[in-house]
Amino acid sequence: MTFFLESNIYQFFGRFHAMLVHLPIGFIILAVVFELLALKKKIDLNRAISYAFLAGALSGFISIILGLMLASDGGYNEATLNTHKWTGITMTLTAFLLFFIKRKQNTILWAKKSYPLLMVLVVTLLFVAGHNGGNLTHGSDYLLEHAPNPIRTLVGMKPIRDRVTDLDEALVYEDVIHPIFEAKCNVCHNSDKAKGDLLLTDPESIMKGGENGEVIATGNAKESELYRRVTLSPTHKEFMPTEGRTPLTKEETMLIQWWIDEGAPFDKKVVALNLTDRTKAHLRDVGIGLKQTFIESLDLEVVDDNIIEAIEAEGFKIKPITGNSTLLEVAYSPYNKSPITAEKLEVLLKAKTNIVWLNFSDIRLQEALIPKLGQLENLVELRINNTNLTDEGVKALASLKHLEYLNVYGNPITDASVESFQKLTSLQKIYLWKTGVSETGVQELKNALNHVNVVLGL
């Protein structure tokens, strides 16, 4: 008896609804699939179909009981909850009816005529109940959350705000706080599932608070209920987010504290608030104030199709790095029987400004050709492993100031190349496995470029 008094027994059993509710969905879909197979293959699956409907109805009945227990705790949008509840009940009753009708379909005229209509009805109810159940669990915007803006506009949703990373342009609520709430809090605090009558989807609702009053004490995070909840021990019954969901990171929690202490503004830019170096670091952790990568900063014209065709005719594989990007990736197959020549590289260099990734792995390059690669001024990634590259050839690559990734694995280079590598100031990762570069040379390189990752094994 003590157990039942100290725990919410309805919620204990009710939460099994989320697990069992997929059973009736699966059984009803299975019955529909069997029906389609029977029509196409002209085989008798009547018994399997009828029992699939029975299993769907029985599991649906149990899911309804558990769902009603779960809903007893409140906090759900009444209209959405009622739609989900009654469509689920009607679907279950229809599945029971289909079980009986399927067994009499060939002997009773009204059963034969009503069966197709009831099939359409049960499938329709399945989708309506499932959709509204998803809304209760994830919010009404979940299905179209990542839809293109034209579709969002068509259904009356706000267009997706372009991601802002520039510290000077970012808005504190729209670009910092709102994304945190959306990712970590709004699954339980949205228009369809407002736990504790608290909505965290818009400024007015946030400042209104929930069933116990305001959750933001403007200018004082330590006195704010919202901040208290997210900083409790994860084992505490009032810790948010609840239900085993991913908690806020330390950086996200600190940003919420900073925002509240700064007055919880909704319309100010980040730079209008007090910014310490620590706060700027936390902002960078959530993507605000990040410097553009070199590739992101490039804004280049499209390479003429005739040039692309000429490059491909020389045996090079060339394509955009992503989608319709004007930046290009180039490779040359080691199985190509025609060697790379100076003439071939001259054709390739007609697109030199746009080439950012180059893969010449396992190609035996003449040392005299290496200086031409140094003309690829925007090259960010170079794979030139197993190409018989020497220390003299490495010198010709020192002009690649934007190179971030370099693979020279399996080449006969030595510590003499370390000085050349040190000139590649943008270098972040270099593969030196199976080269003649010693441990001393590697340490010298790391000392000069303390951010570089030297890989000595694959």
**pLDDT at residue 1, rounded to an integer:** 43
Average pLDDT over residues 365-393: 93
- Please give the DSSP secondary-structure letter assigned to residue 272: G
Worst-scoring range by mean pLDDT, 134-138, 142-146, 156-160, 374-378?
142-146
Average pLDDT over residues 115-135: 85
The residue with greater pLDDT, 101 or 16, is: 101
Worst-scoring range by mean pLDDT, 152-161, 230-239, 288-297?
152-161
Average pLDDT over residues 86-96: 91
Separation between Cα atoms, residue 201 and residue 368, nearest integer Å: 63
pLDDT-derived band of residue 292, with 50, 70 and 90 as boundaries? low
The DSSP line for 61-80 is HHHHHHHHHHHTT--B-HHH
Torsion 257-145-193-134 (CA) sign: negative
For residue range 166-176, list pLDDT tens digits in order.
888 899 999 99
**CB-count burial class (<10 Å; 0-12, 13-18, 19+) for 325:** middle
List, in sequence order, the alpha helices (H) in 72-108: 78-104
Structure tokens belonging to residue 370:
């290496």
Q: Where are the domains of the chain?
A: 2-138, 172-285, 297-455
**Helix, strand or coil for residue 378?**
coil
**Helix, strand or coil for residue 49?**
helix
Of 122-136, 184-198, 240-254, 390-404, which has the strongest mean pLDDT? 390-404
Q: Are 414 and 437 in contact (CB under 8 A)?
A: yes
pLDDT at 312 over 90: yes
pLDDT at 408 over 80: yes
Average pLDDT over residues 53-70: 88
Separation between Cα atoms, residue 156 and residue 61, nearest integer Å: 35
**pLDDT at residue 303, rounded to an integer:** 95
For residue range 348-357, list pLDDT tens digits in order.
999 999 999 9
Side-chain half-sphere of 431: how many Cα atoms within 13 Å?
18
pLDDT-derived band of residue 140, with 50, 70 and 90 as boundaries? low
Average pLDDT over residues 38-64: 87
**pLDDT at residue 242, rounded to an integer:** 72
Separation between Cα atoms, residue 329 and residue 354, nearest integer Å: 9
The residue with greater pLDDT, 183 or 428, is: 428
Which of 28, 207, 184 lies closest to 102 in space, CA to CA?
A: 28
For residue range 226-258, list pLDDT tens digits in order.
999 889 888 888 888 776 567 888 889 999 999
**pLDDT at residue 5, rounded to an integer:** 42
CATH of 297-455 given 3.90.1640.10, 3.80.10.10, 3.40.50.10490, 3.40.50.740: 3.80.10.10
Residue 130's contacts (CB-CB under 8 Å, 6 or more residues apart) are 25
